Structure 1
């Protein structure tokens, strides 16, 4: 608990002190004249005791200790020369990641989406060939089902025809 410097009957918690001081300063500004300590703005001292407070203030000791402390030694030999690298990864030409190409080449299972039943059947046959590692290139079958538009593409064409009218 801490006591108010303006009115000794006011006692409060330390965390409420700053708010309380602002209120009491307004109330007692004409009656009580207190000086602020330059080391801690929370120290409000009557003018007669001010010089004594400056000599014995706990916060003054901290500041004086800081001002009188020696600066840390910085050795100039701690800096090293810039090391030139033989390689620069920014200069390497790397292809962008293409998930479609990766899925076609990797040994993973793909799912057809938005295809008609005949297209799905052709897709599964193509996937089976791909997984077995057949030499035949994908998409070379002559099935008319593969060349049919998907329901998704059909909707896009209808939408584009409507918007062009």
Structure 2
């Protein structure tokens, strides 16, 4: 999933370099007229339809990473 290019959630025909996606989303949102999208709380470049957010969180690498970091911080006995 670490592709160099990502597909714009506002326009599926836009292939954008990963590091340019945040700036692209700001520009592309101005012209978007589709169904409102919800921002993933763990990665602002993930824009998802509200009815699909629960499914997205099941597979979101950023969510899973945050969840594991929180788990290991809570179970660490020596604080490291």
Q: TM-score normalised by the shorter chain: which range applies?
A: 0.7 to 0.9
SS in 2 for 1:27: coil
Q: Please identify runs of 4+ aligned residues in structure 1 that moved more than 4 A.
A: none
Aligned to 2:40: 37
TM-score normalised to the size of structure 1? Answer: 0.41
The structure having more radius of gyration, on CA atoms, is: 1
Spell out the pairing of 1:92-131 with structure 2 (5 A cutoff): none
TM-score normalised to the size of structure 2? Answer: 0.79
Question: CA-atom RMSD, angstroms?
Answer: 1.5
* Count of residue correspondences: 73
Q: Which runs of 5+ in 2 are unaligned?
A: none
Q: Specify which structure has the bigger relative contact order, considering alpha-carbon pairs within 8 angstroms and separated by 6 or more residues.
A: 2
Q: Which runs of 5+ in 1 are unaligned?
A: 75-165
Aligned to 1:2: 6
Name the structure where strand makes up a greater proportion of residues: 2
